[in-house]
Each structure stands twice: as C-alpha cells, then as structure tokens.
Amino acid sequence: MQLVTIENHYMLHLIVNWFLSALSLLIVAAIVPGIEVAGFGTSLIAAIVIGLVNATLGFLLKILTFPLTLVTFGAFLIVINALMLKVAAAVIPGFKVRGCLAAIIGAILLGLLNTLLHWMFFAL
C-alpha cells in the first residue's frame, strides 16, 4: 500500500506553491511602502486571485502587447505584472496597492522573491 500517490504529490506541491506565494506577498508588503496586506489569510486569498488574474487577463494582455514587449526587450512585462497587482488589489478587501511606483516595485520584488523562495524550497 502506497501512502504518497502521484496525485497527492502534485496536490502537496500546489499547496506549498500557494503558501510560498502568499509568504512572498507578505514580505513584499513589509518592504514596499504603498503595498498593504491585512494578514496571512488575506495574503493567501491574494495569492490565488493574483494567479487567476495572471492566468486570464494577464495572458490576454501579454499576447496583445507582444510587439511592445519585444521592442522593450521584455521590460514591458513588468508593467503588465504591476497592472495585475493593481487589479487583484481592487477586488480583495485588505490588500491595497497605492500608486503605480509601488505596483512596479512590488511586481519586480514579488517576482524575484517568489522565484528565490521556490528555488530554495524545491531545490531541497
């Protein structure tokens, strides 16, 4: 009898990924003035909403702005990610992004920190 099936492994990976994303968001909120998260529960909800917004609206925007992304050598993706943060903050009570500069800095730090935490955790 096998206790850890492939499905359980993927589910565990998904949950750990979710928690690391929420932790990244909390750390970014502590560093960047203008980004506020009410608590860890709000951060968990925000991580899901940011993922859903990125997978839908973000995907569409990345397709539509592909020529601009090429011309800017990918830098315009930061603007799109900042916009996705602002959209997510608009629909989640307790999660606020005040200003474009906070959104841009937050998007950069969130991407870097999320990558670092996932690399540290899943490399073990």
* pLDDT digit string, tens, across residues 38-63: 999 999 999 999 999 999 999 999 99
pLDDT in tens, the chain (124 residues): 455 676 777 888 899 999 999 999 999 999 999 999 999 999 999 999 999 999 999 999 999 999 999 999 999 999 999 999 999 999 999 999 999 999 999 999 999 999 999 999 887 6
> Largest alpha-carbon pair distance within the chain?
55
Quickly count: other Cβ atoms within 10 Å of residue 36's Cβ.
16
Residue 57 C-alpha from the chain's centroid: 14
d(CA 42, CA 97): 13
Helices (H) and strands (E) in the chain, counts: 6, 2
The pTM for the full model equals: 0.87
